[in-house]
Amino acid sequence: MRDSADTPDLPALLLDWYDVHARSMPWRTPPADRRNGTKPDPYRVWLSEVMLQQTTVAAVRDYFTRFTARWPTVADLAAAADADVMAEWAGLGYYARARNLLACARAVVDLHGGIFPATREALLTLPGIGPYTAAAIASIAHDEAATVVDGNVERVISRLRLVTDPLPASKAELTRLAAELTPAARAGDYAQAIMDLGATICTPRSPACGICPWRSPCRARAEGVEATLPRKTPKAAKPLREGTVWIARSTGGDWLLERRPDRGLLGGMLGFPGTGWDGAGGPAPAPADWQAAGEVRHTFTHFHLILTVQTATLAQGTNPLRGEWHPQATFRPADLPTVMRKAHDLAANGRAHP
DNA sequence: GATCCGTGGAC
DNA sequence: TGTCCAAGGAT
């Protein structure tokens, strides 16, 4: 039997730790509230999990609060204008998530009567919901015994079970080992517990093994190699790209902006017309006495960018070759992706970071 | 499996 | 300053 006296019950050890150390988050239903019968709202679980994809808890907090205040239900979000959702997401990154978020909300309303599907299998059919997010929603919102495998779980399991093959090739084995541990009861608490463990104790560098509930069974700790796991295949170096953006204002103070195509870098976001760096290209938006305001440096996931910012003032009523005029009164730099906000700040203030 | 896709914080 | 990393998904 697995639960003999000399075989520690790993899920129980972790859940006991979580009962005491669960971190407080705006989207989380704490273990004590679950025991009192409180059910998590699947909409809030889904929204938080999408925001948390490759993004830190600290970065997500305020975005989650603003989204749920403005759109309290999935039906509210489904009815929102695309531009409003993209603007609210600005600065959080990976903008395909925002487009898929809207597509998913509308699918839930149109195909599921406004109720989120409850099973991992059904959730997987929705846009922006992959293996991790489907398991997270199924377990956290519905206590389905689904196994979440995120970066935290990969690290925790690779150490606990001494998996030395590098990621991403070892992902399948880590998933299998994680699934073997997943308990039938308290699946939602367990999923959050193992991720909290990775986020606060079993950290990438200098893990706090001394206070870890899984210290005793951890094979990497026994071998003294915990800090070297998980191994990862090296990533390609980031190349340097250079380009130009044109920031035009009318004599009336309007800003010339361009909606980017839905596919590709910063897809669906508002920005300044540009060329030479994102594969899109194109001419200056109008003939003018363009003046170089300086350079903006920015690093994306897979390349470094040096952007030359050109500025000009155009006569009110000028019909541009590209983009559309936005009134000064309704233009908010915070609605732009970060690289464009840096360019704006440089043009407006003479420096990239006001 | 490989590539594309943001951002900000930690070290 | 440069690198790594974070509750990944789509193609």
User: What is the predicted pLDDT for the residue at A281?
Assistant: 87
User: What is the predicted pLDDT for the residue at A8?
Assistant: 76
**Residue located via tokens 């870890």:** A212
Rg (alpha carbons) of chain A, rounded to whole number: 24
Is A180 an active-site residue?
A: no
**How many angstroms is C1' of C4 away from CA of A319?**
46
User: What is the predicted pLDDT for the residue at A163?
Assistant: 97
Terminal Cα-to-Cα distance of chain A (whole angstroms): 63
Q: Are A156 and A175 in contact (CB under 8 A)?
A: no
Percent of all residues in chain A with a pLDDT value above 90, rounded to a whole number: 94
Cα(A100)–Cα(A123) distance, integer angstroms = 13
Which domains does chain A possess? Answer: 10-228 (1.10.340.30), 240-349 (3.90.79.10)
User: Which H or E run includes A241?
Assistant: strand A240-250
Asked if strand C contacts A267 at the CB level, meaning under 7 A, the answer is no
Angle at which helices A187-200 and A151-160 cross, to 10°: 80
Asked if strand B contacts A266 at the CB level, meaning under 7 A, the answer is yes
pLDDT under 70: residue ranges of chain A: 1-7, 351-354
Per-residue pLDDT tens digits for A297-343: 999 999 999 999 999 999 999 999 999 999 999 999 999 999 999 99
CA atoms within 13 A of residue A73's CA, in its CB half-sphere:
9
Which bases of strand B have any atom within 7 Å of the beta carbon of a protein residue? Answer: 1-9, 11
Per-residue pLDDT tens digits for A146-180: 999 999 999 999 999 999 999 999 999 999 999 99
Q: Are A49 and A191 in contact (CB under 8 A)?
A: no
User: What is the predicted pLDDT for the residue at A353?
Assistant: 55
* pTM of the predicted model as reported, rounded to 2 decimal places: 0.96
Which residue among the candidates A49, A88, A226, A258 is catalytic per the annotation? Answer: A49
User: What is the predicted pLDDT for the residue at A36?
Assistant: 95
User: What is the predicted pLDDT for the residue at A3?
Assistant: 46
